[in-house]
Structure 1
């Protein structure tokens, strides 16, 4: 054993199915924020699978370089597996032992690493008739779901594999339904009723696990999205009766109330939840959304009649959005919400600084589309920089995802070009801008017409000639 080398261990380590081989990347998340959430889940979640939380915590400790805590969490995972499954076979230890092997590898304790690799291989030998284990797929799926939104699609696929092996398992049914629900609403997406799979899956999850109040709340939110309010209220009432003091349920109840226009009721529920988890970025964001909704309601209703009250509401909005980002530094939507709130109090530099921060993140296209749109609105309406606004609107429009931001940018660019043409009917740039919009949204004939007008007033412009040739060749 004393002759074990690092190089000999590496290929065997890479064969293990555990958090260290699941490509959970540091660049995609904030380890401190996930760590806080996981400790909250250990306190408030009721599940026999808390060992999965300890396993993920061990991996987060690895990302922080804190290996003593990583080992302590793996020991807790082992205890939980033994406590909740005393008569089970060893297969539930596979992920934990794989994590142990990697932790000892990073500690240069190669003999210990080899010992855990051997344990994993021995378990697989005993399970030769069932090489695929639903628990591994399920644990990977839950880890992906907890890590960040960019991994939701892969989480869904892992839950599907777990369900192929154990179709009746309550945990995998709840997880699969949750993953599909999150994908349907991810980044503000609106899923048409004909394409909603989550309703059927959430109902099945409730059937398999009637004690899961959170799944009932997710079903209520989905039904609310589809204007099935009466049915939705029934599920919210059942969930509240079942788990009235669970912060994980209360946050979804608050969302339901706010979207139903019951903002004060939502705030009451959120204040109960925030007392239980004061460092929850999600809860602070929801409180900020409630104050923002009240602010715009009274601003529209009363104008400046209640200036002091309006100021209190927007300051509360800003406070809770700032708290959100203090505790959840990678929450992209909250940056946009905070920047827009700063604009309401004319703190334009703070708004721009906030958007600049989030643009440095590893963003997916939906997030880029939203931020470019918000930046365009900031530049156009708040700082008066129309040329910069056009650049950001164009960037947002070029991302071919059907979100409301794309429609906002299309309308904004058409409005700017129309205004410029009205001021100067020979404005070639304005016609070219209109041509760009028509081209991006697929209106080729209108695009050709606009670029021909642009060339009429600027006949030597090579860019316009190139665009026009390209458009004509596609017809």
Structure 2
């Protein structure tokens, strides 16, 4: 292929509407983080856009330098489109063909790349467009791809579905996409009430079980739990093995405090993908929450409580270890395991996972939480006050206002007061008080009995077990 022909091919490739031209990996986001987002089983793994998932996996495989694996995913996407959308196969295949062209181009197989560019051109030519066209199906495909990627893509996804619905206002697939995007954007600074889009999606497709679960979750927030409970039961009956439906229903029951039911649903979702890191993570965190609740009720002398506590710790450790071993980019998994092992009296294992967490690249907030947890471990389990003081100070030196910061202030102040009550000239105690005074002046007690969430999109708690 001559230089001029190659340049012309590159120009055509840039005009295609496909995953290679949509800028799906956000700035600052690693490929591992992107893959974790895309492969989350709670994100529509059981719906009509399975071709979208294959295309996304092809894009990821290409980015990892595995071109042949990328081509295999594209073959699966193309076969699915031919089987399920035979009448619209040409239009529906445009994104997949665009991806084919880009993968072949990067593999150096320029003739194959040109062949797929020509396939796109032949379809678009019918609509008087060279290599891209305005199509409801293309808007739909881009919308689902962006929804699968999450994050800041949700706003663009919503626009894609709105454009598609302008062309076909009664299309149930397009309505479903808009409903999911609206639900995702409901937590933004300017909330967008998703109730009407979700009801519209269900009205156009009464078998849309995932939309029913999302509507139930929204109604739960609006304190209309009666209809929500009915919708979840209906969705579970209609799609008893769909992982996205099971994960959504589990979130609803977790919010109600029915942790056993939530764990049961997630365990059922795990049957289809027994090695899925995200499901193990969510189940492990549910059991971790049970452990926290049992510890908070420590004053109650219930028969068999110790056995139930040990069982919950064992289940939490088992699932979190499975998640950690899978190598997924999950927050705090090692420090969760460390705290659980510490609670079980397995201090060597706790130390191992704490150090593993310290070795990671953490955000300032996550590192501050880790210093609090490790300081608690040193103070309460290992009785090493000097190491605890060191980590509380290191955590406070991180410029991050938080409940964890207040907890560390209070702990240092209490340690100082206890030491001074024994020796008014205690040098360490006087140093601590001077340090606290220099940082923020008078230190007010913080509420050590509260739990805080790492982010609004998760139903997983983050706090140390050894809080006072």
1:394/1:388 Cα in 2 relative to 1: closer, same or farther (>3 Å)? same
**Alignment counterpart, residue 252 of structure 1, candidates 248, 258, 261:** 248
Partners of 1:374 and 1:420 lie apart in 2 by: 19
Whether 2:283 is the aligned partner of 1:293: answer: no
Match of 2:144 among 142, 145, 152: 142
Name the counterpart of 1:178: 180
- Gapped regions of structure 2 (runs ≥ 5): 379-386, 421-428, 445-468
Distance in structure 2 (CA, Å) of the matches to 1:138 and 1:327: 32
Give how far 1:203 is off: 2.9
Task: State the 1:98 CA deviation.
Answer: 0.9
Residue pair 1:153, 1:179 contacting (<8 A) in 2 also: no
Q: C-alpha distance in 2, partners of 1:105/1:97? A: 12
Cα deviation, residue 417, structure 1: 7.2
Q: 1 CA distance for matches of 2:222 and 2:439?
A: 37
- CA shift, 1:34, in A, is 7.5
CA distance in 1, matches of 2:358, 2:305: 33
Shift of 1:93: 2.1
* Cα displacement (A) at 1:17: 2.0
1:79-118 aligned at under 5 Å gives the runs 79-88=79-88, 90-118=90-118
Give me the whole-angstrom Cα distance separating, in 2, the residues matched to 1:386 and 1:226: 44
CA distance in 2, matches of 1:339, 1:133: 52
Do the aligned residues in 1 keep the contact of 2:338 with 2:351 (CA within 8 Å)? no
Cα deviation, residue 118, structure 1: 2.8
Other-structure match for 1:431:
437
* Structure 1 residue 28 corresponds to structure 2 residue 31: yes
- Separation (CA, whole Å) in 1 of partners of 2:54 and 2:246: 24
- Say which is worse superposed, 110-119 or 22-31, in terms of deviation: 22-31
Partner of 1:449: none
Give, in angstroms, the shift of residue 76 of structure 1.
Answer: 2.9
Q: 5+ unaligned residues in a row in structure 1: which ranges?
A: 186-190, 361-367, 399-405, 439-475
Cα distance, 1:30 vs structure 2: 6.2
By relative contact order (CA 8 Å, sep 6+), the higher-ranking structure is 2
Out of 404, 407, 412, the position equivalent to 1:409 is: 404
Contact kept, 8 Å, 1:220 with 1:236, in 2: the verdict is yes
- Contact 1:152 / 1:179 at 8 angstroms: preserved in 2? no
Superposed CA offset, 1:259-278 (max 9, x none): 32223323333332222221
Output aligned runs, 1:306-455, within 5 Å: 306-327=305-326, 329-332=328-331, 334-335=333-334, 337-345=336-344, 346=347, 347-359=349-361, 368=363, 370-383=365-378, 384-393=387-396, 395=398, 397=400, 406=402, 408-412=403-407, 414-415=409-410, 419=414, 427-434=433-440
Deviations, residues 86-129 of structure 1 (Å, cap 9, x unaligned): 33373222211111111111221112212222332343332237
Which stretch shifts more, 96-105 or 170-179? 170-179
Distance 1:331 1:248, change over 3 A: same
TM-score by length of 2: 0.74
More helix by share: 1
Q: How do residues 232-243 of structure 1 correspond to structure 2 at under 5 angstroms? A: 232-243=228-239
C-alpha distance in 2, partners of 1:349/1:381? 12
Other structure's SS at 1:19 match: coil
- Deviation string, structure 1 residues 370-422 (Cα, Å, up to 9, x no partner): 51342132243223433443443453625xxxxxxx3x135325535755896
With normalisation by structure 1, the TM-score equals: 0.73
Q: Deviations over 1:204-248 (max 9, x none)?
A: 332333211122112222333344322321221221222223233
Does the Cα contact within 8 Å between 1:413 and 1:437 map onto a contact in 2?
Answer: no
Give 1:36 shift: 6.9
Question: Does residue 1:272 correspond to 2:268, yes or no?
Answer: yes
8 Å Cα contact 1:33-1:328 kept in structure 2: no
CA distance in 1, matches of 2:394, 2:253: 38
C-alpha distance in 2 between matches for 1:326 and 1:62: 24
Give the conservation status (yes or no) of the 8 Å contact 1:335–1:358.
no
CA distance in 1, matches of 2:229, 2:78: 41
- Change in 2 beyond 3 A, CA 1:297/1:418: closer
* Structure 1 vs Structure 2 CA RMSD: 3.7
Deviation for aligned residue 1:357:
4.9
